[in-house]
Structure 1
Amino acid sequence: MTINAHRASFYALALAMLAAPNLALAQDQSPEQQPEQAAPAAGGLDEIVVTGRASASELRKAEASFAITTLNDATLRMSNPISAAETFKQVPGFWVESSGGEGSNNVRSRGIPTDGFSSVALQENSLSVQYDGGLGYMSPDQSFRFDETIARVEAVRGGPASIFAPNAPGGVVNFITRRGTDNPGGLVKYTWGDYGLHRVDAYYGTKLADDWGVFVGGFYRQSNGLRDMGFKAEKGGQIRATLNYEDGRNSFLLDVKHIDDKTPFYLPTPFTFDGEGKIIDVPGFDGRRGTLAGPENRRVPIKLVGRSFEFDLTEGSHTVSTQLTVEGSFAASDSVTFETRTRYRDSDMQRNAVFPTGSVQTLAGFTQSIRTAALAAFPGATNLVARYATDGAPFDSSSNGNGLVVGGNLLAVSIPIRELITDNRFTTQFDAAGTHSLAIGGTYGWFSYDYEREMGTTLLDIQDNARRLDIVAVNAAGQTVGRVTDNGFQRYGSLFDDAAMSVRSYALYAGDEWQITPALRLDFAGRFEKIDITGLVAKKRTVNLGDPTTLADDQVITAATGFDRVDRSFDDWGWTVGANYQFSSYAGVFARYTDTFRLPSAGEYNGNPLRTDMRSVPIKMAELGFKYGSPLLNLFVTGFHTKFEGVTFTDNVFNSQTNQFDQRFVVADTKTLGLEVEAVIRPVRFFDLTVAATWQDPQYKGFVYTEIVNGQPVLRDFDGNQLMRVPKLALRAVPAINLFDGRFRTELEVEHYTKRFPDVANSQVLPAYTVLNLNARAQLTEQLALSANVTNLTNEIGLTEGNPRAGSFIGGDAGARYFLARSIFGRTVRASVSFRF
């Protein structure tokens, strides 16, 4: 189905959703519909947790033998996160980079050395949104949007997560949706933001009969984006409809969700230093709200072999997806239950963005680096001059107040994917030296995708919404005799990939929770998994398009005759054992050891079909925890140790001389020792304090390789260095005031992160930073509520990553006066009004 056809179906569904409130007015409002004002996130010790386990018995949060955080409905409404990744910030143990926007963010847990969601499972109703979260340019948060249909969140770090979910050694974050049998009633919510945001959320759910319920909900919004691109960069929404049955013994759910949504993908921007060494904005550029992407690169033709490809920046990260989920729980007898969950999705994902590449340079420095080759290419040329590509206006060392230039890759990636995931298990309870809750099950995952990647490398100036530059060769009379660039392109067709991949995964697992005494419980679980990866990857060749007046078309990468075949299989097994001892109903200790794995991803072969270094990565994790709950204090403290063995690290460095990426691979270990603390203190009724803190010492082990520098071998030894981009201390403290019998609540979020490094060598520092956010919510009547969220009150520059395209082993920007880095967003204000019925 085409994107336009998908869009038409989306709007039809949206109209149906907006009609639902009219039907709702005829329904009686039950007490279950009354809004609950916000409560601290670490509360709810009596909550029944369902994530990270497979069992027939109920388990309270206070009795879990693993680290789990729950975020209830009131907490989510209070913080009003703009993305799935933003919710992770409320969970200790996670390091989250949400500076990429609503999708394609990076999440790490307890010393995970890989990016994206490659080792953390994003789930919706206890089933992975995407079986493999490590596929290139296909993070699962691209196919997931947080909205008012989400009722609560459960997050498990480490522990049993990797046994009962695929690709989840770092943990599972499970977003649980509202259901009609919960009788949630209806809601309409409008949100305004100071970056051109207009958003409407709505839902309605009710019981059709005692055991049947129906629910429909979703959102639609548009905005200029948190970094202004000069056009409507965010546009779209989602809708879901759910039918469910629940009688206490058996349950059934049918859920259909459709997404048609465009969001920008934000990338590093330029920064510099003041006289005291403090990081500041480059003159002419706002590092908090600005972006190099802009209207001039909104639609640009890229010359390729036999055709021209139109790069369309307005597509951004465009996801058009329809998913169908069926789940059920059926009591075969008084002691045996069959549980099943199956999801199929059909998605088309387009990722178009301007990726700054190389390093920021002065115009003089850049022209000097290419001068010899450029003048030799055009006989009679004596000098190089810079002009704007669109209007020919001159560019010099004083332009924009900085005279700086940077490479810009106009990258377009298209990935249609079809995926089926099914998880089925039998659970039973029986008595034998205590009570056993046993589960035996399996997961099957199949997905196939096409991967098409096109790119052209441009030269950009440095300003908000950068413009393309041309470098032309002139003779002594100032006449043009040749063009180094063409329409701002240094190289047409600087990247090309065309792959078709298919993956089948099979997993068997079993687990037993053994309640030996009322105070002591042991649990054991194991998982065996096998993955088969097959596919075809187009061979490549380099072609000169034949224009003698420019160098930009001399090396266009395109398809060659034939394909390289991928046919790989991997398997491994893991296990976990845990013990929990309860001193009382609300105080206990637990210990756990997990020996697990991470199988290779099909995404590793998209551009490297012949690589032979991929294998299963062994992972070992140990944790020891204490938990306590009382009206005054809820406290969860977990110490952990994590080791990844034989991880393949990849360094993709953009070579400014060849305008292409050079790759290097190193196999090494990582080791992390850390402590998580989660607490809520309630000294008086009108005040509470929530604290989530993680201290860790994440290190590379055995990261040693030899590099050829100026023809000579140089040994690089980074053993013991801090894991890139992960802080040793992440602290989130939220003092809050509750007034008027809890009908008004205001929170000040204080987030502090210690220094980090953007490269394995730890050669460049990303300084420590503190960010303040303010949340407020007023329940004016039983139906009407107002809320406001102000992020980054002090407009702090907080760098979350450096310039990975200049080197992630050894940063290319280390020691430079000007450098690229991705910062958190500047101060933003959002305000909402919601009406329940």
Structure 2
Amino acid sequence: MKTQRKFQCSSLSIAALALASEAGATEPQVEQELAQVVVTGVASAHGARKLDSAFSISTASEEQLKQAAPFSTADVMKLVPGAFAESTGGQSGANIHVRGFPSGSDSPFVSVQMQGSPLYPVPTLAFFEGSSAFRLDDSIERVEVLRGGPSTIFSSGQPGATMNFILKKGGNIPEGSVRVTTGTGALRRLDLFYGGKIADGWYATIGGFYRKTYGVRDAGFPADDGGQFSATLTRRLEQGEASFYLRRTDDKNAFYTGVPLISSNAGRNISAFPGFDPLTGTLMSTEMRRFTVEAAPGATLHYDLGDGRGLQASVLGMDIAKTLGGWTVSNKFNHFNGDLDTIAMFTGNNPQTMSAYNAAALATHGGTVATASYLDDSPVAADQQVLQAGLWAVQKKLKSFTDELRIRNEWAKDHTLTLGAYFADFSSDDMWHLGSSHLMTAVPNARLINVKLDNGVIVANKGKDGSVFYAPLAAYDGRRTALFIANEWKVNARTTLDGGVRRERQKLDATISALRRGDTDNNPLTVYNNNTSMPTGANTALRRSDAANSFTIGGSYKLAKDASVFARANMGRTFVSFDDLRNAGSQARVDDRNVLPMPRVRQYEAGFKTAGHLASAYINYFHTAFQGIAFQQILANGSILHSVFGSRGDGVEVELALRPLRDLSLALSGNWQDSKYKDNPATAGKQVQRQPKLQYRFTPAYRIPLGAQQALKLYGAYTHVSQRWADQANVQYLPAYTTLDLGALYTFGDQVEVRLSASNVTNELGLTEGNSRLTTGGSGPINARPLFGRSWELSLAYRF
């Protein structure tokens, strides 16, 4: 009987699949996928069909972005196999890792572009990563994320991943939308967009958002507060088009650091710290929101934790392409000018009891009795768990200008040549005050603690128990110029080959203040400020010039109209950054010889692509090999660890979709990799830090027609991330975790939509980061950064 039932089920399944190919033949999303054109990493200004491209690239439409409900720009990368984003810090300050590319923090191998131009030509600086310079709103048409491939040749020459956001353009038919959103953390958000024709051949769009929320982790003040305005102007030309865009962002974003947790079984098991909800709690509080920094004698600076890692910036750009005879000329430029300050808390040592802290203070500073009290003078219990966290202030002003010119011509039959030039000028003016350790209770919305000794020593005053340990003033200027040449050869109707080389030069100049240690109040008993780092007034000038060659070669072979295979090899370079120059100091160049290495990466890829009404598949094998990577880690005591190493990795990426019924889709994306360090005895053979060997995301969606132009779409995402190591030495273990997200979309015709999204509905306790300011691991109380707890958003939109 069971065999008969199995046969009946199988027969029904086969029949359903057979009918699906016909029933789904008119599904708009399938037709869009078949015709999808990508422009990132493509020599032609008109782009190339995604299915025919000889490289790995993922795309997401406006609807796919909304369905994913990303917490931030960096969180968009969860849609991309081969990328892993630690977006639990909030809107800004994410760590983004690319398959097999070793990095400890920020996003050195991810470039963020708008309309094909890098927002800032350097993907990462200390306290800056590219996704922090971009905010999502309803003006975005789609995003394209290219991994490896020909990106070593074009634009800024990023060998890792390029995240390119494409803005909507006005069309002949006016269209607009109004969207209001509420949700967890008293979220209030308004999104507006309108676009259309304004004159013969002229089109424009305007849009933006305003948002205010206390966030999933309520600090007692708004986590995010601000908005954005965007506009585009398009002129259609004969055999061409010119587009201009402008964006102004003024947004404040709280930055979330680690929280206290309990680690057991050498980090394999993580549980809540007593009295602290790791899913919703934060140490930040109104008591410490407005803090001061004793920068020098008579110089006290005032800061607001509510400013967090915000963005106050303007972006202006142009994209023009025109065909003249047999020549196609295109030019893209982008100007960025903004402040990306970091006013945030960074946890230091692991939690301990108040009595243990007092004992250490007495042992260090003498005396027989230590008195600990809150700011209201009430006593702190001896068994109260406490910890230290630094309130850091980094002011960073960034400016950049980039321009890329391409000339393309079919110089011989079936051969198309592209000549290009790229120029970038960029700067960063920095004022840092790292340290300012504060003693506080290990509870949500922590209270600050004063500590005095009976010998007159004041260990902690208004919570402050440590001085600024690093306070450089610096001005950096950089310039890059590159020339590249690429050729595409259509061997026959099925086979296409392409290759290219790039020659790039970089010049860096820096003026960095010399530092000294001193007492800001000339009182030896106030030990919390006795060893303050401060500029001397003297400066050191540093300079470095480098040149590098990159190349790519690849090709594709069509198996059928909508199926192909491809293979590619490339070699790219990453240049020394401002921070590398500062940290190396006089060692940046000795006897006209560069001491700092310039990393080199080699990549090899082979893949298969197909799309149809029943199923789609994008499968890619990759191999990466690095050498000469310089790494730094700032520890809790202010010291900086330096290391140089290499790595190599192999893996497979997949993006699969099955549409067995007209209104049902089942998608699976993810990657498996084996990436390990090499070339450094201290880390050789260790797993590349923070990157899971296995991660995948299963996203089913089912649309239920309700009649009278109404429909309800139900969707979800089941995500698994395997275990990782937080550090290069593979000491701090980060356990595997699995999350579940759910959503529903109700539509009435093409005008009204109601969307409900819920993230981490099971309240999974997963860690994205360990304590990056310590080099130890193990069991007991720790500081680490977990996932956000369960949250929801409800939005109502009207399109016109």
TM-score by length of 1: 0.88
Q: Match of 1:465, SS? A: coil
Contact 2:27–2:662 (Cα < 8 Å) also in 1: no
1:404 is aligned to 2:385:
yes
Q: Match of 1:203, SS? A: strand
1:316 is aligned to 2:308:
yes
Q: Give the 3 Å change call, closer, same or farther, for CA 39–290 of structure 1 in structure 2.
A: farther
Q: Match of 1:230, SS? A: coil
User: Take 2:172 and 2:627, find their aligned partners in 1: how far apart are those partners?
Assistant: 45
1:805 is aligned to 2:773:
yes
Contact 1:269–1:822 (Cα < 8 Å) also in 2: yes
1:573 CA drift (Å)? 0.6
Q: Match of 1:368, SS? A: helix
User: Take 2:517 and 2:425, find their aligned partners in 1: how far apart are those partners?
Assistant: 35
1:721 is aligned to 2:686:
yes
Q: Give the 3 Å change call, closer, same or farther, for CA 39–373 of structure 1 in structure 2.
A: farther
1:815 is aligned to 2:800:
no
User: Take 1:142 and 1:171, find their aligned partners in 2: how far apart are those partners?
Assistant: 16
Structure 2 partner of 1:45:
34
Contact 1:188–1:835 (Cα < 8 Å) also in 2: yes
Q: Give the 3 Å change call, closer, same or farther, for CA 248–640 of structure 1 in structure 2.
A: farther
2:762 to 769, 794, 801: 794
The amino acid that maps onto 2:217 is R
Contact 1:120–1:167 (Cα < 8 Å) also in 2: no
User: Take 2:764 and 2:516, find their aligned partners in 1: how far apart are those partners?
Assistant: 46
The amino acid that maps onto 2:602 is K
Contact 2:311–2:338 (Cα < 8 Å) also in 1: yes
The amino acid that maps onto 1:59 is A
Structure 1 partner of 2:753:
785
The amino acid that maps onto 2:450 is D
1:49 CA drift (Å)? 1.1
1:422 is aligned to 2:403:
yes
Structure 2 partner of 1:229:
219
1:244 CA drift (Å)? 0.4
Cα offsets for 1:254-281 (capped at 9, x unmatched): 1111111101111111100479973111
User: Take 1:577 and 1:225, find their aligned partners in 2: how far apart are those partners?
Assistant: 46
Contact 2:295–2:433 (Cα < 8 Å) also in 1: no
Structure 2 partner of 1:452:
431
Structure 1 partner of 2:77:
88
Structure 1 partner of 2:100:
111
1:438 is aligned to 2:406:
no
| Mapping for residues 57-456 of structure 1, pairs under 5 Å | 58-114=47-103, 115-166=105-156, 168-181=158-171, 183=173, 185-247=175-237, 249-273=239-263, 278-305=269-296, 306-333=298-325, 335-375=326-366, 381-388=367-374, 390-398=375-383, 403-432=384-413, 435-455=414-434, 456=436
User: Take 2:141 and 2:580, find their aligned partners in 1: how far apart are those partners?
Assistant: 35
Structure 1 partner of 2:666:
689
User: Take 1:150 and 1:350, find their aligned partners in 2: how far apart are those partners?
Assistant: 25
Contact 1:321–1:345 (Cα < 8 Å) also in 2: yes
Structure 2 partner of 1:634:
616
Structure 1 partner of 2:625:
643
Q: Give the 3 Å change call, closer, same or farther, for CA 616–283 of structure 1 in structure 2.
A: same
Q: Give the 3 Å change call, closer, same or farther, for CA 184–361 of structure 1 in structure 2.
A: farther
User: Take 1:312 and 1:196, find their aligned partners in 2: how far apart are those partners?
Assistant: 21
Contact 1:505–1:531 (Cα < 8 Å) also in 2: yes
Q: Match of 1:103, SS? A: coil
1:833 to 791, 796, 800: 796
Q: Match of 2:365, SS? A: helix
User: Take 2:87 and 2:289, find their aligned partners in 1: how far apart are those partners?
Assistant: 24
1:524 is aligned to 2:521:
no
1:779 CA drift (Å)? 0.8
User: Take 2:27 and 2:191, find their aligned partners in 1: how far apart are those partners?
Assistant: 19
Contact 2:92–2:131 (Cα < 8 Å) also in 1: yes
Contact 1:419–1:448 (Cα < 8 Å) also in 2: yes
Structure 2 partner of 1:671:
648
User: Take 1:830 and 1:41, find their aligned partners in 2: how far apart are those partners?
Assistant: 28
User: Take 1:786 and 1:724, find their aligned partners in 2: how far apart are those partners?
Assistant: 41
1:629 CA drift (Å)? 1.8
User: Take 1:248 and 1:200, find their aligned partners in 2: how far apart are those partners?
Assistant: 38
The amino acid that maps onto 2:309 is S
Structure 2 partner of 1:560:
536
Contact 2:260–2:350 (Cα < 8 Å) also in 1: no
1:755 is aligned to 2:723:
yes
Q: Give the 3 Å change call, closer, same or farther, for CA 327–58 of structure 1 in structure 2.
A: closer
| Mapping for residues 470-619 of structure 1, pairs under 5 Å | 470-474=450-454, 481-544=456-519, 545-606=521-582, 608-612=584-588, 613-619=595-601
Q: Give the 3 Å change call, closer, same or farther, for CA 303–147 of structure 1 in structure 2.
A: same
Cα offsets for 1:83-117 (capped at 9, x unmatched): 21121111111111111111121111111112322
1:216 CA drift (Å)? 0.4
Q: Give the 3 Å change call, closer, same or farther, for CA 467–610 of structure 1 in structure 2.
A: farther
Contact 1:751–1:772 (Cα < 8 Å) also in 2: yes
Q: Match of 2:465, SS? A: strand
TM-score by length of 2: 0.92
Contact 2:719–2:738 (Cα < 8 Å) also in 1: yes
User: Take 1:588 and 1:449, find their aligned partners in 2: how far apart are those partners?
Assistant: 45
Q: Give the 3 Å change call, closer, same or farther, for CA 51–172 of structure 1 in structure 2.
A: same
User: Take 1:425 and 1:87, find their aligned partners in 2: how far apart are those partners?
Assistant: 29
Contact 1:181–1:207 (Cα < 8 Å) also in 2: yes
1:38 CA drift (Å)? 11
Moved over 4 A (4+): 37-43, 273-277
User: Take 2:30 and 2:87, find their aligned partners in 1: how far apart are those partners?
Assistant: 20
1:586 CA drift (Å)? 1.0
1:782 CA drift (Å)? 2.3
1:312 CA drift (Å)? 1.6
Contact 2:755–2:794 (Cα < 8 Å) also in 1: yes
Contact 1:754–1:769 (Cα < 8 Å) also in 2: yes
User: Take 1:167 and 1:472, find their aligned partners in 2: how far apart are those partners?
Assistant: 56
The amino acid that maps onto 2:618 is F
The count of residues paired between Structure 1 and Structure 2 equals 761
Cα offsets for 1:115-162 (capped at 9, x unmatched): 322111111111111100111112122221011100011111111112
Q: Give the 3 Å change call, closer, same or farther, for CA 753–350 of structure 1 in structure 2.
A: same
Contact 1:39–1:74 (Cα < 8 Å) also in 2: no
Cα offsets for 1:189-226 (capped at 9, x unmatched): 00101211100000100012453201100100101123
User: Take 2:381 and 2:28, find their aligned partners in 1: how far apart are those partners?
Assistant: 57
The amino acid that maps onto 1:735 is P
Q: Give the unaligned 5+ runs of structure 1.
A: 1-36, 376-380, 476-480, 656-660, 705-716
Structure 2 partner of 1:774:
742
Q: Match of 1:168, SS? A: coil
RMSD of aligned alpha carbons: 2.0
1:393 CA drift (Å)? 1.6
Q: Match of 2:725, SS? A: coil
1:608 CA drift (Å)? 4.9
Contact 1:42–1:634 (Cα < 8 Å) also in 2: no
1:535 CA drift (Å)? 1.5
Q: Match of 1:604, SS? A: helix
User: Take 1:739 and 1:606, find their aligned partners in 2: how far apart are those partners?
Assistant: 59
Cα offsets for 1:464-513 (capped at 9, x unmatched): 111221221127xxxxx331222221123232110011111111111112
Q: After superposing the two structures, state which structure 1 stretch, 176-185 or 602-611, moved more.
A: 602-611
Structure 2 partner of 1:702:
679
Q: Percent identity?
A: 30
Q: After superposing the two structures, state which structure 1 stretch, 766-775 or 541-550, moved more.
A: 541-550
